[in-house]
Amino acid sequence: MEGERRIAVIAIGGNSLIADPKRPDVAHQWDTVRTTARHIADLIAQGWDVVVTHGNGPQVGFILRRNELASHEVHVTPLDLIVADTQGSIGYMLQQTLDNEFRRRGMHKTAITLVTQVRVDPNDPAFQRPTKPIGGFLTEEEARRFAAQGWPVMEDAGRGWRRVVASPQPLEIIEEAAIRDAVRQGWVVIAVGGGGIPVVENEKGELRGVPAVIDKDRASSLLARRIDADLFLIATAVEKVALNYGKPNQVWLDRMTVSQARQYMAEGHFAPGSMKPKIEACIAFVEATGRAAIITHPAHITRAVQGETGTYIVPDETA
């Protein structure tokens, strides 16, 4: 029976927890998380064992802003602790809403959240070239103000300006064995929140946090490969991936091979701060496992897994 279990890693974006950017308060985040939990529970009800990973960009931004406003009275919080904080808070929201959904449906399932550390290379060149957007979107005027304070800023995929930090490559998920064992025992596991807390190993072999943010999709892809998941699904703001996104000649994609995905990236179809890291994460999973990856909207998770929608990234030989 154990061999028949199917494991899916579902990566949901931090922005997908905020349905309306004009109403990012916690009450509205709860509403969105409850909706997302229903879609995940639909898949679990079909017999899938699931690991849920999540982004935390907007939430990290809120904490950074609180730090700035309160810095004259209390100490500021280091970035690695902010990632840990958001793993706990977002994990709690997902854990509670999933458990409520399981009880409502009479499903004998329980969700757990694992605070997850991810090892990175202290010499990763990303530390010299910060590119990972964090926090909310800024006007150009606000961005210039942050830049004057020493924050690197960049324009993010035509959507506005954002602060950026180093985004080193994930090398090892420290709690990998615990995540693998828990999901194989039937727990619904929430892990690798915000891409994981970035840590490095010092000369004594001890782990220490570093001021960086790991890309959630890259870390989720690494986790999916390491626990031998049957499916890697990225839930994001669109139902399908598009070529020429937002332009008059936009084309939605139902399916693309790894080679096609690489070609489209080379042609500049996928924005670096938006869809490109998702495509790269999917390619890494597909190449390592020979299994398909899917990108779709949270509302279409079940339909996408059934092959009715979403964009499938598949090995070249299955074209």
109 is catalytic: no
216 is catalytic: yes
What angle, rounded to 10 degrees, do the helices at 276-289 and 258-266 form?
150
247 is catalytic: no
**Catalytic residue selected from 13, 14, 61, 195:** 14
14 is catalytic: yes
SS3 call for 161: strand
Those residues with Cβ within 8 angstroms of residue 20's Cβ, 6 or more apart along the chain or in another chain = 28
Those residues with Cβ within 8 angstroms of residue 191's Cβ, 6 or more apart along the chain or in another chain = 51, 52, 53, 113, 114, 116, 175, 179, 223
**Catalytic residue selected from 13, 132, 136, 194:** 132
Residue 172's DSSP bridge partners are 119
Phi/psi of residue 113, nearest 5 degrees: -110, 130
8-state DSSP, 78: P
194 is catalytic: no
Pairing label, strands 293-296, 311-314: antiparallel
- Output the DSSP codes for 254-303: SEEEHHHHHHHHHTT-S-TTTTHHHHHHHHHHHHHHS--EEEE-GGGHHH
40-55: burial string, b at 16+ Cβ within 10 Å, e else: bbbbbeeebbbbbbbb
Count of alpha carbons within 13 Å of 218, Cβ hemisphere only? 20
Please give the radius of gyration of the chain, using alpha carbons only, rounded to the nearest integer: 19
Work out the angle at residue 59's Cα, subtended by the Cα atoms of residues 211 and 111, and round it to the nearest 5 degrees: 100
Sheet containing 132-138: give its strands across.
132-138, 161-165, 153-155
**Catalytic residue selected from 55, 109, 278, 310:** 278
- Please list the active-site residues: 14-15, 132, 216, 278
